[in-house]
Amino acid sequence: MRGMIKTLLAGSAGAAALAALLLVPTGVATSADHLDPPGRTDGGVDANPDIPADIADVFAWHSNGTTKIAMTFAGPVSASATTPLYYDRDVLYKVNISTQAPASTPEFTIKYRFGKGAGEKDWGVRIEGIPGVTGVVEGPVETNLEKDGVKVRVGLFDEPFFFDLIGFRETRSTGTLRIRNDRNFFDGQNDTAIVLEIPDANLGAGVTNLGVWGQTARFGGNI
């Protein structure tokens, strides 16, 4: 069956249908969460987009007795030397984790705030609410921080999302299938990320199911 599907997808009828598959309403499958909501974070819609508060992606995975959570934001951005740093003192970041029913309310809310240091590129992060960690974790960004078994890091990374956005847009505008699985719009770009590695024990005894979501908020209101 899979072979048949591949054949069908590869044929001209399949190509036409795939072209149609991409002729979808604006926003459909164009991103994980980058530039959403557009009225606040998309420069094509909002003249003053809130780039630092724009969540790009949330990841959560488990292996070898630890849960890993990453939330990317402010991306994708160019890898150029002129791209500014997107740490913003006025944005509050939250990573919420539900470990008990109901799955829609968090047992843990991890809060991140950024603060400027004395040097031109000195930025620090203060993190509170980490499961199993007493007090706050605080230190420079671009540094691995560790306390009570939990590892955290905030910094600039390769944009981890992959998708042929160019093919999507070209197909939508021309009606000719342009999508390719060897072209990734997000190649070579970056975004900023919050990464956590949390031992199972820190989440509580017997916890087997998590619900994870991110939130951002801006001090004093939307820009």
Q: Which is nearer to other proteins, 132 or 140 (CB)?
A: 140
In this structure, the strands spanning 55-63 and 66-77 are antiparallel
Q: How far is the CB of 134 from other proteins (least distance, A)?
A: 19
Residue number with CB closer to other proteins (28 or 43): 28
Smallest gap, in angstroms, from Cβ of residue 110 to other proteins?
A: 13
Q: How far is the CB of 127 from other proteins (least distance, A)?
A: 11
| Residue 46, token pair as written in the block | 């909002």
Q: Looking at residue 66, what DSSP letter applies? A: E
Minimum CB distance to other proteins, residue 68 (Å)? 6
Q: How many CB atoms lie within 10 A of CB 87?
A: 21
**Which residue, 26 or 134, is less far from other proteins as judged by CB?**
26
Nearer to other proteins, 134 or 180 (CB): 180
- CA separation for the pair 170, 117 (Å, rounded): 44
Report how far residue 32's alpha carbon sits from residue 166's, in angstroms, rounded to the nearest whole number. 15
Q: Is 144 helix (H, G, I), strand (E, B) or coil?
A: coil
What whole-number distance in Å separates Cα of residue 134 and Cα of residue 132?
Answer: 7
